[in-house]
Amino acid sequence: MTATADRSDVSTILNPATGAVAGQVRWTNPADVPQIAAGLREAQQGWEARGAKGRAKVLARYAVWLDEHRDEIERLLIAETGKSTTDAVQEVLLISIILSYYIKTVEKAMAPDPRPAPLPFLSVKKIAVHYRPRAVVGIIAPWNYPVANALMDAVGALAAGCAVLLKPSERTPLTAEVLLRGWIDCGAPEVLALAQGAREVAEAVIDSSDYIQFTGSSATGVKVMERAARRLTPVSLELGGKDPMIVLDDADIPLAANAAVWGAMFNAGQTCVSVERVYVMDTVYDQFVAAVVKAVENLKMGAGAGFDFGALIDESQVAVTARHVDDALAKGAKALTGGKRPEGKGSFYPPTVLVDVDHSMLCMSEETFGPTLPIMKVSSVGEAVRLANDSPYGLSASVFSKDVERAKDVAVQLECGAVNVNDVISNLMLPTAPMGGWKTSGIGARFGGLDGVRKFCRQETVVVPRTAAGAGSNYYNHTVKALARGNKLMTKFAQIRPRREAK
């Protein structure tokens, strides 16, 4: 994507694959963001008052609108990002899955959660945890999935009764305008608004929101958290990854090879949970590499219909990918496919399979976010696990074995938020389970069943008496007799026993 300024507040967005004009965007003045947030805060009160059932009806209408306008959205996605049609069609589908789930579960998520008394003598109290939506949730979304990353968190926040202030990436601002138009067209209240711009606008969103959901690089996530800490604003951060795949000696090699290729090349490798490095047992290494190369050689690179994956988002991302590949080749790796940028227009980089790699190379240690697939031979499961965990990142991983129990044993040794057995990326389509990162891959989680709604809420515990009998009997009652009686009750009901000396 390239943005060229026509006036101080308007830019033209170009397709990174062709250089054609995708559209224009009017940037938000950072000074206007607090006013936008104030309007959202006012509208949120009525949105919360609709109740979970009322909000679910609005979200259902929005789901219908998205489905009816899917072709328009996908065309704009391709124009704005240079994606292939194969990649573009996944985004609205994912949001439909998420909407369907939260429409059905939001009432349960927002219902008061009764809690038991910790001890029998405290059962005179009735305890419930209530979930109160935060007024304004700020969502700072990345450019790699302009629909999915904009809405996958917004859906949960809106279901909870929050208003949402969305800042799309300045690289892909156009699709968000259509998503907002759809929200308005389906008769929804004005509890979704956009703030278009770069760093200064993002800072204003952080300063004006009650909760921040950020998806992006680990380095930027640190800056977001630092800014939010000034007002003690809670954050959820889904950050970078260097996701490993482990292929055991009893794996279904054709399945594993095709999964590795799809997981690495989908969306030109610009996915937070891309397969970025593969560790293969030595006994099946040659067979696996041969299958991977054959699959990659069948891929077609280009934007729009008829292609498997499209352009990278801009020249800076091409430069990162090229730097990682060049570094590997200089240190002794071999490129079995690709390895050099093709001549011609567009921010393309060919699908590149690298072998003879090790952890001294950038392609094995830094997030590439490009269509590369480094493969490393290992001699044992222990070595594979050690190398997979040898990373500052911990977003997700995958393990391939015909013995599912064996794969699960390996999975729980990996230091990451999610592991797919005999598949890749599939956890992204499961809103019932949390998606979160370990180490520098993030804080908090998106989705997680009912927690995908409740994360955007404050918790309020309400304790009410079951009976008026004995009310206030313990206030300032410090007589020797009263204390002895209290100690006796505590010992009895808490089942406290004096420690006996071992014989």
- Catalytic residue list: 238, 272
End-to-end CA distance of the chain: 77
Residues with Cβ within 8 Å of residue 492, at least 6 apart in sequence: none
- Tokens matching residue 313: 């988002």
Cα separation, 68 vs 85, in Å, equals 17
- What are the tokens at 468? 């008026």
Q: What is the DSSP pairing of strand 113-115 with strand 21-26?
A: unpaired
In three-state secondary structure terms, 297 is: helix
Burial of 446 (0-12, 13-18, 19+ CB in 10 A): buried
Three-state SS letters, 53-120: HHHHHHHHHHHHHHHHCHHHHHHHHHHHHCCEHHHHHHHHHHHHHHHHHHHHHHHHHHCCEEECCCCH
CA gap 238, 244 in Å, rounded: 17
Please give the order of strands across the beta sheet that includes 10-14.
2-7, 10-14, 21-26
Q: Residue 478 contacts by C-beta under 8 Å, 6 or more apart in sequence? A: none
Q: Which of 390, 445, 403, 401 has its CA nearest to residue 423?
A: 401
Q: Give me the residue label for tokens 């219902």.
A: 111
